[in-house]
Structure formats: structure tokens, C-alpha cells
Structure 1
């Protein structure tokens, strides 16, 4: 059975390590802003490519089924592109809304503190 004093010392050590990490990082998460922007960019690219790929696959499948090779392929590829762009715009609006909420939240906090 572990010594209770050892448990207490371990808890104190963990608290000091956490305090040192918070002081070093300034209390902010380790992730920097440019990493999150790159993540958003890759998400948008993935959404566009997924829309194109799904549209291409559906169009090719229907063309193979009906024997109208270029017609459905082109039509559904364009529809997939439109769906991908629509999804990208929705993502951009979501990110913009989060940014505005964060900025507004910061202003509200300053008003509450009397700054």
C-alpha cells in the first residue's frame, strides 16, 4: 500500500508542474492561431474535393447504368462542385460566427469588469 505522504508529495508536484506550464504558456492552449487557420483551410479543401468525388462517382455510375457516358458524369460533377462550394461557404460562415462571438464575448467581459 502506497505511503499517504508519497501521495501528497506527488499531488503537490503535479500542481507545481501544472502551475509552471500555465505560467510558461500564459494560460493559453498550446495550439497557435496559424495552426487553426491551416486546419480550417484543409477542412474546406477536403469538403470541395469530397463533393467533386461524390458527384463524379454518382455520375459515372449512372452513365454506366444507362449508357449515356458523358452526360450524367458532367452533370453530377458540376452538382458535386456546387455542393462542395456550398459546404465551404457554410464552414466559412460558421468560423466567422465563432470569431465574432469570441470578440463580442471579450468586449462583454471588459464591460463587466469596468474597463
Structure 2
């Protein structure tokens, strides 16, 4: 699996506590052939020859990009609904319990699926 996260803003990029996140699988029909290519060629060869132009790298990145904006919007919605908030620089749920990021995977996957229509 891979995923996308939003962090509480701090002076260092992406170093604040996670506010929200979503995950997505890296296997299945969209990825399997590309993984076989990685197994045949080896990670070191792909890194040195293809780098970020590698088909698998690009496919994984596309999946992440497709979820970035929906995650921003849904994170703002969870704040507006009171499902998550920040208290004393700590992310807490609606009952005030600390959370290590609010999992919005289900919401984000529904949005991504609707966008494919």
C-alpha cells in the first residue's frame, strides 16, 4: 500500500503530526505487469536507467495525485463537521481523543471512483 497524508503545519515541511490520510493498493490488474518488470530488471537497474520515468513509479504517482485534492477537501469537511480538530498543537477526534491522523480512505475512494465515470 501507499498513501497520501496531510500534516499539521509546522516550520518544517511535512514534519507536523498527520491530520488526515488515505491509502491505496499497489497491486492488482493496474500494477501487476509493472511489478513483474521490476522483478525481472531489478530495482537498482530501474533506478539508474529509468528513475522517475519508470512506468510503475509513474502509475503509483498518478494514484497519489488523484487523491491529493480530494483529501484536502475531505479534511476540511471533517474539520467543519467537528470530526477532527487541533487542540494544543495535537490532532484530536470529535471526542477530544488524540489521533495519529484521521483515516479518510473510504471517503476518498468513493470520490476517486465517481471521478472515473
What's the TM-score, normalizing by structure 1?
0.29
Larger strand proportion of the pair: 2
Name the structure, 1 or 2, with higher relative contact order (CA <8 Å, separation 6+): 2
What's the TM-score, normalizing by structure 2?
0.29
Q: Rg: which structure is higher? A: 1
Larger helix proportion of the pair: 1
